[in-house]
Chains A and B, each alone.
Chain A
Amino acid sequence: MALQEIAAIVALTGVMAYAIFGGADFGSGIWSALASGPRAGGQRNALYKAIGPVWETNNVWLVFIIVVLLMAFPGAMADLFTALLVPLSVGLIGVVFRGAAFAFRNFGRESGAREAPVHGIVFSMASVIAPFAFGVALGATAGGEIKLNDGGAVTSGLWAPWLRALPLLFGVTAVAVCSYLTMSYMTTRSAGDLREDFRVRGLLAGAAVGLLAVVTLAVSYWDSRDFWDLWQRPAPLAMSGVALAAGLASLFVLWRRWYALAPAATGGAMALLVAAWGVIQYPYFIVPSEKIFDVASNDAMIRSALVGLLCGAVILIPSLLLLYLSFVAESAEEAPES
């Protein structure tokens, strides 16, 4: 495998990690707005409690994606951000307000101040907007409407590449993915009726993800023939089959209440869904004009990135495990009943 392809896989891995870790944090915001039934307050508290220690770490995956683009695919980064200025800015603003509102709410309460309801509202709204906008950006990258001239400069307008059915469906799917992840993860951090609340909502969200994924593929036949044609190749077809099977399996796990398996099953399935998007796009970085090899950095830079990645992983992976395991073990001990 060529260096450039390895770098592309690193970038895709970043997107997958952001989706299944950062995505669940967005899901917490979404569900804190949708909390309902007799245990609405309990649902909200459990959601806030779960993301407290981890959201900043999960947000770094977004920065990770950007810095991988910057060093390994600087030309593509320039073109993507120029072409997708609007959705990426909106997503960024969503991320900013989500994080700030959460921190202000959380630590404002901790220090004994009166809670400002505006923080909760902003937190929820931003948690919907950010994944939607980033989903739209992914869809636009695959959708084939980012136009470049012969000199490699972006010629498409501010709206044309993404204000279409396929990218917008990607955005809605991303919101559903976040919702599903959160509910599945929360089943291991709760007990009793509250857990049953999360399970039922998870099953609904998971079904929505599957339905949206199928609709998105079907719509691409009319809306983005490039995407449809890329999909009609053996590897993408196989990969989407695998993702579909994993998705159904994760729903089955949740249906049978095998909670210990639920986070891994759902996280794995959603990661495979993102991977399927990557495989469909291959070998394009931006469909249909820029291939991975056209936009990659020089070999020396990519090589140093991979060495840096290996060294960084030695520190990062044990630290991440320490963080997640500390707080998962805790929540199992003192899982709220209702």
Chain B
Amino acid sequence: MGMALGFHIVFATIGIGLPPLLFAAEGLYLRTGKEFYRVMAKRWAIATAVLFAVGAVSGTILSFSFGLLWPSWTEFAGGIIGLPFFLEGFAFFTEAIFLGLYLYSWDKLSPRAHWLCTIPIAVAALGSAFFIISVNSWMNQPAGFDIVNGVVTNVNPTAAMLTSRAFPYEFTHGALAAYVAMGLGIAGVYALAMLRGDRSDYNKKALMLGLGLAAVFAPLQVVTGDLSARHLAHRQPEKFAAMEGQYATEKGAPLRIGGIPFPNDHETKFAIEIPKLASFLAFEDFNAEIKGYDSFPPDEVPNIFLAHFPFQIMVALGFTFVGVSALFWGHAWWKKRIDPPRLLLALLVAVGALGFVAIEAGWFVTEFGRQPWVIYHIMKTSGGATSRDGIWVLLIVFGFVYMALTAGMAGVLLLQQRGRTQTPRAS
């Protein structure tokens, strides 16, 4: 399941992030009449088509995984948190329908109608994220039902979907992450082309669009990240302690940047410690008490490494993204044109891939940080999984399936890339 989600999340990100870019590129074409915007939109559309197809099939794998791998989870949770899954089905329909229209009707619809197709695609993709993240939030902070004598009663499906305490934080942070990563990803592709010497207008405009998206959302992402961490400090303190590498309960706890947890010494070493800042960030009080990892029962805490390292990576990358976007736009403002030096381009290429690393890291924090629970304080992960023996055979098979998908996709996209190292053909 982790493998399935970790794979799918990349395509979900692209599915959310690309439609606004298509909207922008084709909208600019309609406004300015410049042919290269149309070429840009067309090329991005082909990439979208391939990536959406892989996202659609990996999403289908996910829906099956609930039954194949997590039947006990499904039996328990389906009757409580089923509604967002169901509604996500409709969002998926809308996205697929309008993407089909968009991809195959360049010459059939009026330019304006064709351009407008990107709106339902973008909205539906965001809607899918809304519904699916609501399920994940519910797993972190269950809501919308009571358990009386071990039996689930008073189910309120709408409340389960909307009133999880984690939901506002997870959704904003998760959705913004998609826009940041996609903006940086696109920018990375064109920075690479410019590094290779092709400083055409086409590449510059594409770079601008990607970094425009990133520059708007990367700073906001720092804010939602702070809000999320504060929420965790209040509602899932063991997760927060693991993320921060905070072993002992402490008043006025320092903010640790980096550091390696040493389980035997019950201490996180080699971190840069900023005194009292963790207490302040979490509780707005420099002397607030932060519960330590050791103060929770050992069988109810996550693995500290799997929460601490991804969290540190995610935070570091988040600030890097803000910095690099600022550097790019600052340089453009200073020079009065888009003409980044090679070093900055190289940085942009690296950051282009790191956006997705940050998403995976964030997802690690959410999932590993919730362990050993699959539904927080209700069901342990081991209790939700299938009882079938030999399920590992299936896992290996799907490992190969994912490898084949990745190889096939890389093949197609690289061939496409190779076919266009020359300046754009106006087709």
Contact between B386 and A82 (Cβ–Cβ < 8 Å)? yes
Q: Does A96 contact B (CB under 8 A)?
A: yes
Stretch at the interface among A53-61, A203-211, A214-222: A53-61
Specify which of A59, A297, A319 is in contact with B79 (CB 8 Å cutoff).
Answer: A297
Known: A63-B60, A95-B57, A107-B412. A77 touches B71 (CB 8 A): yes
Q: Does A150 contact B (CB under 8 A)?
A: no
Identity of the chain B residue whose Cβ is nearest the Cβ of A303 in the assembled complex: B157
A114 to B416, CA, bound (A): 10
Q: Does B387 contact A (CB under 8 A)?
A: yes
Contact between B53 and A326 (Cβ–Cβ < 8 Å)? no
Q: Does A301 contact B (CB under 8 A)?
A: yes
Contact between A71 and B79 (Cβ–Cβ < 8 Å)? yes
The minimal Cβ–Cβ distance linking B66 to chain A, given in whole angstroms, is 6
A114 to B411, CA, bound (A): 11
Specify which of A70, A103, A301, A323 is in contact with B66 (CB 8 Å cutoff).
Answer: A70
A326 to B93, CA, bound (A): 17
Q: Does B98 contact A (CB under 8 A)?
A: yes
Contact between B79 and A102 (Cβ–Cβ < 8 Å)? no
Contact between B50 and A59 (Cβ–Cβ < 8 Å)? no
Question: Interface SS of chain A: helix, strand, loop or mixed?
Answer: helix
Q: Does A52 contact B (CB under 8 A)?
A: yes
Residues of A within 8 A of B409 (CB): 100, 104
- List residues 62-94 of chain A with CB under 8 A from any CB of chain B: 62-64, 66-75, 77-82, 85, 88-89, 92-93
A331 to B43, CA, bound (A): 25
Among B64, B67, B155: residue with most chain A CB under 10 A: B67
Known: A77-B71, A82-B386, A82-B388. A104 touches B49 (CB 8 A): no
The minimal Cβ–Cβ distance linking A28 to chain B, given in whole angstroms, is 15
Contact between B100 and A305 (Cβ–Cβ < 8 Å)? no
Q: Does A186 contact B (CB under 8 A)?
A: no
Q: Does B156 contact A (CB under 8 A)?
A: yes
Contact between A113 and B416 (Cβ–Cβ < 8 Å)? yes
Stretch at the interface among A139-147, A229-237, A244-252, A308-316: A308-316
Contact between A100 and B408 (Cβ–Cβ < 8 Å)? yes
Contact between A53 and B86 (Cβ–Cβ < 8 Å)? no
The minimal Cβ–Cβ distance linking A224 to chain B, given in whole angstroms, is 23
Q: Does A99 contact B (CB under 8 A)?
A: yes
Known: A59-B56, A100-B54, A305-B83. A108 touches B156 (CB 8 A): no
Contact between B394 and A89 (Cβ–Cβ < 8 Å)? yes
Specify which of B68, B94, B401 is in contact with A315 (CB 8 Å cutoff).
Answer: B94
Identity of the chain B residue whose Cβ is nearest the Cβ of A86 in the assembled complex: B394
Known: A66-B64, A315-B94. A53 touches B100 (CB 8 A): yes
Residues of A within 8 A of B46 (CB): 107, 110-111
Contact between B77 and A103 (Cβ–Cβ < 8 Å)? no
Specify which of B53, B72, B94 is in contact with A78 (CB 8 Å cutoff).
Answer: B72
Contact between A297 and B82 (Cβ–Cβ < 8 Å)? yes
Contact between B53 and A74 (Cβ–Cβ < 8 Å)? no
The minimal Cβ–Cβ distance linking B189 to chain A, given in whole angstroms, is 15
Contact with B along A117-139 (1 / 0, CB 8 A): 00100000000000000000000
Among B78, B105, B404: residue with most chain A CB under 10 A: B78
Known: A100-B57, A153-B387, A323-B101. A81 touches B67 (CB 8 A): yes
Contact between B101 and A301 (Cβ–Cβ < 8 Å)? no
Q: Does A330 contact B (CB under 8 A)?
A: yes
Residues of B within 8 A of A323 (CB): 97, 100-101
Among B60, B61, B411, B418: residue with most chain A CB under 10 A: B60
Q: Does B332 contact A (CB under 8 A)?
A: no
Residues of A within 8 A of B418 (CB): 113
Q: Does B99 contact A (CB under 8 A)?
A: yes
The minimal Cβ–Cβ distance linking B47 to chain A, given in whole angstroms, is 8
Specify which of A99, A107, A298 is in contact with B57 (CB 8 Å cutoff).
Answer: A99
Contact with A along B85-118 (1 / 0, CB 8 A): 1111110111011111101110011000000000
Q: Does B59 contact A (CB under 8 A)?
A: yes
Residues of A within 8 A of B71 (CB): 77-79, 81-82
Q: Does B327 contact A (CB under 8 A)?
A: no
Identity of the chain A residue whose Cβ is nearest the Cβ of B79 in the assembled complex: A297
Residues of A within 8 A of B405 (CB): 96, 100
Q: Does B52 contact A (CB under 8 A)?
A: yes
Q: Does A35 contact B (CB under 8 A)?
A: no
Q: Does B75 contact A (CB under 8 A)?
A: yes
- List residues 284-306 of chain B with CB under 8 A from any CB of chain A: none
Q: Does A1 contact B (CB under 8 A)?
A: no
The minimal Cβ–Cβ distance linking A283 to chain B, given in whole angstroms, is 20
Q: Does A327 contact B (CB under 8 A)?
A: yes
Q: Does A45 contact B (CB under 8 A)?
A: no
Q: Does B63 contact A (CB under 8 A)?
A: yes
The minimal Cβ–Cβ distance linking B374 to chain A, given in whole angstroms, is 14
Contact between A71 and B83 (Cβ–Cβ < 8 Å)? yes
Residues of A within 8 A of B53 (CB): 56, 99-100, 102-104
The minimal Cβ–Cβ distance linking B10 to chain A, given in whole angstroms, is 15
Q: Which 7 A-B pairs have the closest CB atoms?
A: A71-B82, A74-B78, A81-B67, A103-B53, A78-B71, A113-B415, A312-B90
**New contact pairs (20) apart from A78-B72, A113-B419, CB-CB < 8 Å:** A52-B103, A59-B56, A63-B92, A64-B89, A67-B82, A69-B67, A72-B82, A75-B75, A77-B67, A77-B75, A93-B401, A99-B60, A102-B53, A103-B49, A104-B409, A107-B412, A111-B419, A297-B82, A298-B152, A312-B93
Supply 21 A–B pairs (Cβ within 8 Å), ascending by A. Answer: A56-B56, A57-B97, A63-B63, A68-B86, A71-B85, A74-B79, A79-B71, A82-B386, A95-B60, A97-B404, A107-B50, A107-B412, A108-B416, A113-B419, A158-B388, A301-B80, A308-B87, A309-B86, A312-B90, A326-B101, A330-B108
